[in-house]
Amino acid sequence: MINLANSKHFVFGANFHGGAEVVNYPWDYTYTLHPDDAWYQTSSFAYANSAKANGPSGYFTGINSSGITNGAVWYLVNGGRQDWMNYTARCREVTIEVSNTKLPAASTLPNYWNYNYDAMLSHLEQALYGVHGVVTDHYGNPLNATIDVAQITGNYTSITTDPAHGDFYRYLNPGTYTLTVSAAGFPDKVISNVVVNANTKTTLNVVMGEAPHSQSISLQPGWNLMSFNIDLGANTLNSVFDANLRQLKDNRYTYSPQMASHFNTLTALNTAKGYWVKNNSSSTLSVTGQLLSCAAHPQSLNAGWNLVSYLPNSNMSISAALASIYSQLLEVRDINSAWVAGSGGSLSQLSPGKAYWVKVSAPCTLVYP
């Protein structure tokens, strides 16, 4: 049984016995209630109420009138199957005792089948409710993930996905919950306001991480102003620029492939910086990485002229893009056009892949929206 449970990702189940008439739910080994005790009672009542409705008078009332019991309250058992399935395998399993006779005669089995048929279906239906979903990476590959519920804490409340398919099943009573999904190699993802209704399934598919963004930047012969809005990661000068590059500089350092290395003071590309680029001919740079967060990359500006990168991933008007410094803004320039406060100009929008010279009246901090 243990080998089978370890080889399969069981999430819901029951084991059947004779000797009493009751649904026994965890724990068996301790009087401490399972953190999901309320849900276990709900699902146990679904079985017991159906069995009582379809059985003879007094059926499923031998242990108590409700037809359900906490295992330890009934009697303590250490090392039982039910606790192992819930404790180690993280399956939601109960023990169902269907006959006061431990080994009922074969001739009576059809009667017990009729008493319990609808109840077994009711129990299986419970597996269709709660929160169901699939956890994948941004390519659609299933992930071995752990799901925790903020409102239900304690040992052994976490569930895991089936690594082969990424699917998970978190059984919950009606309510509003916050789920945290964790997977190795990815930041945790917190999903708030997950609503669970009675006798329905809430679908929650989770994609961990973000798909890499590919940024293409067109360069013209001669001088260009450019910037990246992605995390450059391991990208280097040689991996980003081709043989068309004549010179690259920011407002302090410079690099030219035609110059001896000791003359090149710019040795690496920095995220969220603006650059001058001189090209021999037209070319297109293509770089892949994670999009930068504008809020996480503020740019400190001095009074006067500043070379700034453009981080948003879409075109924006100057007033919208530079709203955080608009009261200090005097002038904006690219290679061929300009905007001047109070009079406007030929430059009206800022675009990804570009860098701009920005003139401000006082020190300030640029944070793109």
Active site residues: 97
Q: Which residues pair with 278 in a beta bridge?
A: 223, 247
Q: Tell me the C-alpha distance between 231 and 229, whole Å.
A: 7
Q: Which residues pair with 137 in a beta bridge?
A: 208
Answer yes or no: are the C-beta atoms of 298 and 323 closer than 8 Å: no
Torsions phi, psi for 47 (to 5 deg): -70, -50
Q: Tell me the C-alpha distance between 229 and 291, whole Å.
A: 6
> How many residues comprise the chain?
369
Answer yes or no: are the C-beta atoms of 183 and 135 closer than 8 Å: yes
Q: Tell me the C-alpha distance between 43 and 23, whole Å.
A: 10
User: Cα-atom radius of gyration of the chain, to the nearest Å?
Assistant: 33
Torsions phi, psi for 151 (to 5 deg): -80, -10
Answer yes or no: are the C-beta atoms of 47 and 96 closer than 8 Å: yes
Q: Find the angle CA(167)-CA(172)-CA(177) to the nearest 5 degrees.
A: 90
H or E segment and range at residue 39: helix 37-54
Side-chain-side CA neighbours of 165 within 13 Å: the count stands at 9
Determine the 3-state secondary structure of 2 from DSSP: helix
